[in-house]
Structure 1
Amino acid sequence: MSIFEIIMLLCFAFAWPFSIRKSFVSKSNAGKSVWFLIIVLVGYVAGITHKLIYNYDNVIFLYCFNFALVFTDAVLYVRNYFIQKSNNC
């Protein structure tokens, strides 16, 4: 278990709630990129897979937590897309 890996994941975990709140409150995707969210999700899946196959330790829970945060933001992206689409019709 690496303290640097833990610090990195904790920093990301503290940043995502701000993005989630902005997405939820604004009901807009302005400044968001679905491709960015997908790339980050793939990165977390790779990290989780690595932990499961090669180096299982408790840091996997931070990877899963971060994945859940990004996934929540991605779900809000889809929600906001449909909100914006219905407002434009």
Structure 2
Amino acid sequence: MAELLEAVMLICFGLSWPLNAYKNYKAGTAVGTSWQFIALITAGYFAGIAAKFVSGNLNWVLAVYFINVICIAANWLVYFRNRRLDARRCSELVVEEETLVVA
């Protein structure tokens, strides 16, 4: 029963990550995204995986942890993509401002 409850918690929590990645992808900016938060969640998943190995309780719930890690990895990819887009927009703005000042 404990395994089922752990899996339900992971599934409920894990469903938010694909939705978050999609929302951030559509937003196209990393503004308002906390890399520290994503890092803490990532560390938490790895701690949960490590606990499974340390306890020797290797069961099907471990697969749910790995699915969640894949979902959080997608969030990391979107975060870095959006940071790159933000930097590009910022550099374009600087070039545009310099052009206006020179003209």
Deviations 1:34-85 (A, max 9, x none): 0000010011001111112211111001001101111110111011001100
Rg larger in structure: 2
1:69 counterpart residue number: 71
Count of aligned residue pairs for this structure pair: 89
TM-score, L = length of structure 1: 0.92
Structure 1 CA distance for aligned equivalents of residues 42 and 78 of structure 2? 14
After TM superposition, give the deviation of residue 13 of structure 1 in Å: 2.1
Q: Using the aligned pairs only, state the percent identity.
A: 27
One-letter amino acid of the counterpart of residue 47, structure 2: A
Unaligned runs of 5+ in 1: none
Off by >3 Å, runs of 4+ in structure 1? none
Matches within 5 A, 1:1-89: 2-54=3-55, 55-89=57-91
Unaligned runs of 5+ in 2: 92-103
